[in-house]
Each structure stands twice: as structure tokens, then as C-alpha cells.
Amino acid sequence: MANFGIEEALETLGLQEINEGSSTGSVNFSNGEIIASYSPVDGKLIGKVKASTKEDYEKVMTTATAAFKTWRAIPAPQRGEIVRQFGNKLRELKEPLGKLVSYEMGKSYQEGLGEVQEMIDICDFAVGLSRQLNGQVIPSERPGHVMREQWHPLGVVGIISAFNFPVAVWSWNTALAWVCGNVCVWKASEKAPLCSVACQNIIAAVLKDNNLPEGISCIVNGDYKVGEYLTADTRVALVSATGSTRMGRIVGAKVAERFGKSLLELGGNNAIIITPTADLKVVVPGAVFGAVGTCGQRCTSTRRLIIHESVYDKVRDAIVGAYGQIKIGNPLDESNHVGPLIDKDAVNTYLAAIEKAKAEGGKVLVEGGVLEGEGYESGCYVKPAIIEAENHYEIVQHETFAPILYLMKYSGDVENAIELQNGVAQGLSSSIMTNEMKEAEKFLSFAGSDCGIANVNIGTSGAEIGGAFGGEKETGGGRESGSDAWKTYMRRQTNTVNYSDELPLAQGIKFDL
Ligand code: UN1
């Protein structure tokens, strides 16, 4: 077991008094119905928060919009300094926060720590970025003129995040949004509300220490109805939403209707192509971690293995053999690989998907099922399953947020595998396992993977924060995290300045008076 008790973690994170009636975190004026957070680990109640009513939301927005005026006037590198302090606090609190993530959401403690590490990393990235929000200088066609580009903050950024990465996804958005000069209003998943309150407490303390307005970071609690306040609100310049394609379709349409900006990071249906030259030492851990890590609840989780027929039996046997070693149980016990699903609804979705795959002709290679008995009282622990299937099955085309891995064969050239890989509606992450340079390059070329993430000889999940994160098609097209994703959090302004005594018009137009 990890050395921290969960009570101690809650206390360190300022969550010891999370119960009915307490309004938690600063800038959280919640007065609505109670949201109880039960741990999928042991089924116990961890705490309760109140949902935000429309009035509460209005108070949050008033606080946030007022804070924006102060925050945008602070030079970007000084905003970076605040993010640096936030990152340092996260370093201090990595263990308790990682533990809370693990206990409230159910991922392994190692993955909980990894998630907090992603937060620390994005803070470091954002600090450096705070000195590099550069525009360009563009040659003007007119004498005595100069053109340049500036990047200005947007205003209020609304962040809608999912239960599966209850802290990191917020931080990818918020750390960038802050250095860019925006203030943030966060609607976290109602399935992991305490994680959001813990994060809010941490940043609120940093803001207070620096005498900065608390409205720079706000949270609102609740279900999709609270999300709708954000999507419909013209004061929210950008809505960054991470979650299901179903949710993204609604959010994207609503925000577009009012000409707001949205950044959508939605479902994946990620595949690994395993070619004849693939190295099994790399394939097995890559595929197994990808499929069962976070109990198959990452948007980057490996859903499909597309295996060349010449190595199919060998690869299948190695993967099935590795599944025999997987330990399922309390995720806070570091000897376990896989914890529970988030809740019983997720368990039912998992069971229904297995039935559907069977009904469509799938052959079960590793049997799934719900675990019962000591240690599994929450009813949320399931066995990772492997099913031999075909790409066109309806269930294979669909993202099921659970540890179900579909195996399929390809024959002939890598192009055939790429066609299968791209033959789904989603386009988030993809990998090829090969030692053939030509295959790898084809996979990465314009005619290769159509995903936002395409990897060679690593799995589909576990992306580093330094790259832009997101994907195409039903994945929504947005990019979060590294590279130049920061540009989404700013508005571009083109400036033309005339320092001559004349007024020549562009395109050579004459307009003599
Ligand atoms: C998600 O599942 O929403 O690439 C994010 C990964 C992690 C992030 C996943 N760094 O698997």
C-alpha cells in the first residue's frame, strides 16, 4: 500500500470538511443539490459537494469577468511566475493528490501520481511559454509601413472535463489559459468532484499569497445542465470540452451557434498495427498497458489490434498469456495493475458491449465478467477481455470506455492495415509496431494514419505533454497541451502601422482627392 492514508490525503488537500452544507473551495458559491462522491475502490462515500445553481453561476461569472481585467494587465512572464508557484505546490502535494485521484476515480496509484506529474509538467511548459507568446513581423507591401501580429487574451475560458483524468486535463487547459492572460471557469465531472475542489484549493491559496483576485480560477459543480450555462454564455469566449463524442456534438453546436470558440477533445477508437517485423518485447507491454491501463478508460486506450496474418497466432498467444498475469484489485495497492471502472453504469456498458460483440460474431479469447467477493464489494471491478472481431462490427466501430480489446487480422501490405486503422469514425491515437522503415514512414505520411497522434513502436496511450494532444474526425479536431496549442487560448490581431507621411493604399489602388 502507498504510505499515505486516504484520510490524511483528504486533510492535506483541505477536504476534511466536505459534507452536506459546506460550500467548498473559493469561488464556488454552490447552493444547489448535493452531489455525493462514492469511491469505486470500496464503494464508500468520500464526501459531498453542492451543485451550482444558475444564480451561483452568475456570481462566479461576475467574479471571473472582473478578475480578467486585473489578470490580463499583468505581464505574461509574471503570470508565468504564478503558474510556477502552482507547479511547485503540486510537487509538494503530488502524493496526496495522486492518492485522491486514485481513490475517487479508481486508476492505479502509479497512474494517479503520473497524472499529477502531467500537471507539474504542463506548468513548467506554461512558465517557459509565458515568455514566448510571440507574434510575427510581416513585410508590408507599402513604403513606410510595418505589419505585425499580436496575440491577446480571450477572456473567460470555460473548461469541461471528464472523470477519467480528473485533474490533468484541467491543468493542460488552465495552465496555458492563465499564462495567455485568461481566467478560467471549470466544470469538472460530477463523477469526480472532490478532485476539482482539491485543485481549486491549491490554486486559490497561490492566488491569495500573491494578492491576486480569486476569480482567476473558478469552479462550478454539477451535471450537463451546468455545462449548458457555459456553452450558452457569450461571456465565455472559449469552451474547451473533453469527453464523449455525444457530449462534444452538443457543446460544439451550441458554442458555434453564438460564434464562440470551442476546443473539442472527444472519443478515440485507437488501434495498434502489428506488422511481421514487430518486436514482441515492445508489442506486449505497449498493447497490454494501452488496453487495460486506467481500466480502459483513457481516450487514448488501445481498443483494436490489427495484426498481420503471418504473426497473428504468435502475437495473440503472447497477449493472451500476458492477460493471465494481470492483477485486478484495489488500485491503491501498488501490486495491482488494474482498478475498478468508475461506476456501475460503466460496468453495465462493458457487459453489454461484450454481449453485442458476441452477437455480431466475435470470438471471446479472454473472458470478461464482473468480480465478486472480498475486495470487490463496490461492484465496479471487471476482468479485461479480449475478443477476436472484425472491424466493421457496430460495437467495434463504437468507443466503449472499458477494458475490451478487439483483435483482427490483416493480410498483404501495410496499406491494408492502415485502411482498417482509419476505418472508424474517430481519429485520436494510433500506432504501428515495425522495424521496417518504409512501413513506418508510410504510416506517418499523408496517406497513413488519419489520427492526431501517430506513434511508431510505442502504444497509443501515455502521450507526453510537450506535443499537441487531440485528434480528427469525431475526436473533434481540437488540440490541447503542448506545441502551439496555446494559440487556441488567444485571439490573433493583425496590425498595420504607417510611419510615413503619405497614405499609399494596398493593392496599388489610387484614390486621389
Ligand atoms: C484522456 O484520456 O482524456 O495520452 C487523456 C494519455 C494521457 C492523457 C489521456 N497523457 O494517455
Supply the pLDDT for residue 25.
41
Cβ contacts of residue 149 below 8 Å, gap of 6+? 135, 136, 137, 138, 492, 493, 494, 495
Q: Is the CB of 481 under 6 A from ligand 1?
A: no
Q: Is the CB of 302 under 6 A from ligand 1?
A: no
Cα–Cα distance for residue pair 446/262, rounded to 1 Å = 26
Supply the pLDDT for residue 32.
86
242 CA: nearest ligand 1 atom: 3
Mean residue pLDDT across the chain: 95
Closest residue by Cα to atom 7, ligand 1, is 462
Cα–Cα distance for residue pair 180/178, rounded to 1 Å = 5
Q: Is the CB of 218 under 6 A from ligand 1?
A: no
DSSP state letter for 221: -
- Closest to 379 measured CA to CA, from 35, 106, 47, 42: 42
- Cβ pair 424, 269 in contact under 8 A: yes
pLDDT tens for each residue of 107-153: 999 999 999 999 999 999 999 999 999 999 999 999 999 999 999 99
Supply the pLDDT for residue 4.
56
From the CB of residue 67, how many other CB atoms can be counted at a distance below 10 Å?
A: 22
- Cβ pair 148, 137 in contact under 8 A: yes
DSSP state letter for 112: H
Cβ contacts of residue 308 below 8 Å, gap of 6+? 274, 275, 276, 409, 410, 411, 417
CA of 431 to the centre of ligand 1 (A): 15
Q: Is the CB of 462 under 6 A from ligand 1?
A: yes
Question: What's this model's pTM, rounded to 2 decimal places?
Answer: 0.96
pLDDT tens for each residue of 418-472: 999 999 999 999 999 999 999 999 999 999 999 999 999 999 999 999 999 999 9
- Cβ pair 451, 429 in contact under 8 A: yes
299 CA: nearest ligand 1 atom: 2
Q: Is the CB of 298 under 6 A from ligand 1?
A: yes
DSSP state letter for 370: B
Closest residue by Cα to atom 6, ligand 1, is 462
CA of 300 to the centre of ligand 1 (A): 6
- Closest to 343 measured CA to CA, from 402, 268, 290, 301: 402
Q: Is the CB of 460 under 6 A from ligand 1?
A: no
CA of 211 to the centre of ligand 1 (A): 34
Which three-class secondary structure state does DSSP give residue 159? strand
298 CA: nearest ligand 1 atom: 2
Q: Is the CB of 119 under 6 A from ligand 1?
A: no
DSSP state letter for 10: H
**Is 1 a residue whose pLDDT tops 50?**
no
Cell 460544439, located at residue: 252
**Is 18 a residue whose pLDDT tops 80?**
no
Cβ contacts of residue 438 below 8 Å, gap of 6+? none
CA of 461 to the centre of ligand 1 (A): 6
CA of 198 to the centre of ligand 1 (A): 20
162 CA: nearest ligand 1 atom: 3
Supply the pLDDT for residue 28.
55
pLDDT tens for each residue of 211-248: 999 999 999 999 999 999 999 999 999 999 999 999 99
From the CB of residue 75, how many other CB atoms can be counted at a distance below 10 Å?
A: 11
Supply the pLDDT for residue 17.
65
Name the H helices within 180-278: 193-209, 224-232, 245-257
- Residue 30 pLDDT grade (very low, low, confident, very high; cuts 50, 70, 90): confident
Q: Is the CB of 463 under 6 A from ligand 1?
A: yes
Mutate to test the pocket of ligand 1, among 115, 242, 263, 300 (most ligand atoms within 8 A of CB): 300
Percent of the chain whose predicted confidence (pLDDT) is above 70: 97
Q: Is the CB of 461 under 6 A from ligand 1?
A: yes
Which three-class secondary structure state does DSSP give residue 454? strand
Q: Is the CB of 488 under 6 A from ligand 1?
A: no
Cα–Cα distance for residue pair 110/100, rounded to 1 Å = 12
- Closest to 215 measured CA to CA, from 178, 168, 167: 178
297 CA: nearest ligand 1 atom: 2
Between strands 429-433 and 426-427, the pairing is: unpaired
pLDDT tens for each residue of 293-342: 999 999 999 999 999 999 999 999 999 999 999 999 999 999 999 999 99
CA of 118 to the centre of ligand 1 (A): 10
- Closest to 268 measured CA to CA, from 252, 283, 286, 290: 290
CA-CA distances (angstroms) from residue 8 to 12, 117, 201, 360?
Answer: 6, 20, 16, 49
CA of 463 to the centre of ligand 1 (A): 6
CA of 105 to the centre of ligand 1 (A): 14
Q: What are phi and psi of 303, to 5 degrees?
A: -105, -30
- Cβ pair 156, 61 in contact under 8 A: yes
Catalytic residues: 265
Supply the pLDDT for residue 31.
80
